[in-house]
Amino acid sequence: MATNASAPLAGKIAIITGGSSGIGCATAHLFADRGARVIIADLNAPTSASSNVIFQKADVSDAMDCRAVVERVRREFGRLDILFNNAGIIRRASVLELDESDWDRVMAVNVKSMFLMSKFAIPLMTESGGGSIINAASGWGLTGGPRAVAYCASKGAVVLLTKAMAVDHGAQKIRVNCICPGDTDTPMLRDEASQLGADPEKFLADAAARPLRRVGRPEEIAEAVLYLASDASSFVTGTALVVDGGGQAGSI
C-alpha cells in the first residue's frame, strides 16, 4: 500500500498513555507531525500544546478512566487506529527493600493499565478495520537489573502480554508489538538517580556504558514507535523491538 512518506499517519487516530512527558510526549508530537490526531491520557497535562493533540486527564490504572478515554475517542472521531500504552513508573528497590504498596502501584500502572486500555480500545479498533497497539516494555523486561524487581517483573509481563495479544487479535487485523528501550534521558531516568541517592550526571554517565556510548533521546524511541504504528511495519506483530544503543548486545 502506497503511503505519504511525510505523513504516514494521515487520517489516523491515536491514543497515547503517559503522553505528557518523556517518550510519550516525544511520540505525541511526532505522531501529530506525521498526520495523526492524538489523544493523550495522563494525570498531568502536557506542557506544550498542538492543534492535533488533545489531553484527557486519566488514571490509566482505573477502569472507568480508561473506558472514558476510549468513549471520548468514539464520540469525537468514531474510530481508533493506534494505541500506544506508554504510561509507566519505576521504584528502585530489591525484594527486601520494596513496600507492598509500591509493588502494587508499579504493577497497576505498568501492566494493568495496558490490559484495561486494550480491553476498551480493541472493540473500537476492530470496528475501524484494524490497527496497531504498541506497548512500552524495556530492556529490563528481557534481562534483569539491580534493585528494580517490580519494574523488571512488570516489563517482563508486558513482553508476554504483547505476544499473547498478537496471537489473539491478528484475525481482527490488529497488530500488537512492544518496544524495549534502553536508558533514555527522561524525567523518569533522572528520578531513578534520586531514588538511589546517586548524582544525576554520574548516573547518566554510567548508563551510557553501551556500544553507542550514550543514553537515548526520547525522540529516537518515538521514531521506533512510529515505525510500529505505521504501515511500514504491516507484517510485524508479536515482536519486542529493542532500541537501546546496543545495551542488550553487550556493555563496553
Give tens-digit pLDDT for 216-238.
Answer: 999 999 999 999 999 999 999 99
Q: How far apart are CA 187 and CA 190, in angstroms?
A: 5
Residue with cell 491478528: 170
pLDDT at 246 over 70: yes
Domain boundaries, the chain: 13-184+216-236
The pLDDT value recorded for residue 47 is 82
* Average predicted confidence (pLDDT) for the chain: 95
Q: How confident is the model over 22-39, as pLDDT tens digits? A: 999 999 999 999 999 999
Q: How confident is the model over 46-71, as pLDDT tens digits? A: 887 778 999 999 999 999 999 999 99
Confirm whether 151 is a catalytic residue: yes
Please say whether the beta carbons of 45 and 55 come within 8 A. Answer: yes
String of DSSP letters for 188-244:
HHHHHHHHHT--HHHHHHHHT-STT-S-B-HHHHHHHHHHHHSGGGTT--S-EEEES
Q: Name the CATH architecture for the domain at 13-184+216-236.
A: 3-Layer(aba) Sandwich (3.40)
E-assigned strand segments in 25-130: 37-42, 53-57, 82-85
Please say whether the beta carbons of 33 and 219 come within 8 A. Answer: no
The pLDDT value recorded for residue 177 is 99
Q: How confident is the model over 149-206, as pLDDT tens digits? A: 999 999 999 999 999 999 999 999 999 999 999 999 999 998 999 999 999 889 999 9
User: Which residue among the candidates 53, 151, 165, 242 is catalytic per the annotation?
Assistant: 151
pLDDT at 19 over 70: yes
The pLDDT value recorded for residue 42 is 98
The pLDDT value recorded for residue 13 is 98
What are the CA-CA distances from residue 16 to residues 33, 122, 144, 160, 252 (Å)? 15, 14, 27, 20, 34
Which percentage of the chain shows pLDDT scores above 70? 98
pLDDT at 127 over 60: yes
Q: How far apart are CA 237 and CA 239, in angstroms?
A: 6
pLDDT at 1 over 70: no
Phi, psi of 224 (to 5 degrees): -65, -40
pLDDT at 83 over 60: yes
